[in-house]
Amino acid sequence: MSEDITIDRTLVQRVAAAWPRRSTIRSDMVTIESAAEYEEGRSDYPLRLLPFHDHPGFADVPPEQRELVLTLAWVVYNQRVISAEEHVANPAFALVMRGVFPGTDDFMFRRAIQQALVDEHWHTYMHMMAIERTRELRGLAEIPQFPHSVTYRRLYEERAKLPEAWERDLLSLVWATVAEVSINAYLTLLSGDQEIQPMHSLVTTLHARDEAAHGSLMVEVVKSLYIHMTRRQRRAFVQSLPKALHAFVAQDFSAWRAVLGHAGVPNVDAIVSDCELDRSNGPLVRNFKGIERLVRELDIYDQVAEGVPGLEPAAATAARAELPDGVGEAMLSLGDGFPDLA
Ligand SMILES: [Fe+2]
Ligand SMILES: [Fe+2]
């Protein structure tokens, strides 16, 4: 029962107390600002993470064009991280700080959440810099703005259906919860990548370091908010959580079409359509371990998990087994082929 929910106040205090030492805005601002390290011969994005990397239609693409595809894939990644910070994480943290939801009004929580807000703005900055450095490095005249992700579009579609402000606020909180608690699998995978430019893996390493703290903090924040929710609010929370989880694993290859189109690759429709039909690019689960812990602690697992890939142990194991090493975890968090989290 929710009455049994306990808040780990020690964890929140530890997260907040460590921030001055741990936060990458403090420890790594000079590195991010200084001239980026560049390694000849390394790409901007791992080839194996392109869903069409072994498609016959992509095999004949000349090396320069292939590199451009990888560069644009990295740009989309960064654009999506920024959009998730600006449209998902920050609005929800700001609502919490404004006291829209009771439960985290004490200084301990407010301190830690405000720190996370600072971090998120810094992450936007880091990824903005990453795009510009890439543009300079590759000599691109301009950076295309790629389509919004399905995760983001679903949030706005769902918001538009809700007549009351409190319902829309709660929906924002739910989307941010999934984002904050689940991002690290993908960030960590890219951060350890040896194929891509070191400055790119550095950005994801730094972001992942901050998010490790945010993920733990967010679980405690949401538990505390949930305790204080009315029955109606709890019902809305429980009903929208599966929608958010589905939105994070939904498929949408529109960005890949745009990437290949911008790079001038022929037969884009055929390549992308084949990927959409290919079961190994199917509705892949992401790593929802943090969410699983949260919903178990809130005692709402059964209401949330049904039909959600990633929360059903059998489905998750089967999906991973079909994928080669490394790709599994990455694709788990791609959903539409790109990570989309803050
Ligand atoms: Fe975060
Ligand atoms: Fe972030």
Q: What is the pLDDT of residues 228-270, one digit of tens each?
A: 999 999 999 999 999 998 888 777 789 999 999 999 999 999 9
Question: Residue 214 Cα, ligand 1 centroid: separation in angstroms?
Answer: 5
Q: Percent of the chain at pLDDT above 90?
A: 66
CA distance 244 to 246: 5
Contact 206, 24 (CB under 8 A): yes
Ligand whose nearest atom lies closest to the CA of 180: 1
Question: Residue 224 Cα, ligand 2 centroid: separation in angstroms?
Answer: 21
CA distance 113 to 120: 10
Provide the pLDDT confidence category of residue 320 given band limits of 50, 70 and 90.
Answer: very low
Question: Residue 227 Cα, ligand 2 centroid: separation in angstroms?
Answer: 26
- Is pLDDT of 336 > 50? no
The half-sphere exposure of 57 on its side-chain side, counting CA atoms within 13 A, is 15
CA distance 72 to 65: 11
Ligand whose nearest atom lies closest to the CA of 178: 1
Question: Residue 264 Cα, ligand 1 centroid: separation in angstroms?
Answer: 35
- Is pLDDT of 192 > 80? no
- Is pLDDT of 143 > 80? yes
Ligand whose nearest atom lies closest to the CA of 179: 1
Max Cα distance, the chain (Å) = 61
Q: Which amino acid is at 335?
A: G
The confidence score (pLDDT) of residue 286 equals: 58
The confidence score (pLDDT) of residue 313 equals: 53
Question: Chain-centre distance of CA 269, in angstroms?
Answer: 27
- Is pLDDT of 342 > 50? no
The confidence score (pLDDT) of residue 150 equals: 86
Question: Residue 207 Cα, ligand 1 centroid: separation in angstroms?
Answer: 8
Question: Residue 40 Cα, ligand 1 centroid: separation in angstroms?
Answer: 32
**Cα torsion angle, 289, 295, 299, 302, sign:** negative
CA distance 341 to 92: 13
Model confidence pTM above 0.85: yes
Q: What is the mean predicted confidence (pLDDT) over 86-113? A: 95
Question: Residue 88 Cα, ligand 2 centroid: separation in angstroms?
Answer: 10
Average pLDDT, the chain: 86
Q: Please enumerate in sequence order all residues whose Cβ is within 8 A of that of 23, keeping only pairs 6 or more positions apart, or say none.
A: 115, 118, 119, 122, 210
**Cα torsion angle, 202, 180, 149, 289, sign:** positive
- Is pLDDT of 105 > 90? yes
CA distance 272 to 51: 9
Q: Please enumerate in sequence order all residues whose Cβ is within 8 A of that of 301, keeping only pairs 6 or more positions apart, or say none.
A: 292, 295, 311
CA distance 34 to 197: 16
Q: What is the mean predicted confidence (pLDDT) over 14-24? A: 97
Question: Residue 68 Cα, ligand 1 centroid: separation in angstroms?
Answer: 29
Q: What is the mean predicted confidence (pLDDT) over 164-191? A: 88
Provide the pLDDT confidence category of residue 311 given band limits of 50, 70 and 90.
Answer: confident
Question: Residue 123 Cα, ligand 2 centroid: separation in angstroms?
Answer: 5
Q: What is the mean predicted confidence (pLDDT) over 72-101? A: 93
The confidence score (pLDDT) of residue 327 equals: 33
Q: Please enumerate in sequence order all residues whose Cβ is within 8 A of that of 160, keeping only pairs 6 or more positions apart, or say none.
A: none
Question: Residue 211 Cα, ligand 2 centroid: separation in angstroms?
Answer: 6
CA distance 23 to 18: 8
3-state DSSP assignment of residue 43: strand
Question: Residue 281 Cα, ligand 1 centroid: separation in angstroms?
Answer: 27
Beta bridge partners of 196: 43
Question: Residue 182 Cα, ligand 1 centroid: separation in angstroms?
Answer: 10
- Is pLDDT of 183 > 60? yes
The H helix count followed by the E strand count for the chain is 18, 0
Question: Residue 89 Cα, ligand 1 centroid: separation in angstroms?
Answer: 7
Question: Residue 87 Cα, ligand 1 centroid: separation in angstroms?
Answer: 12
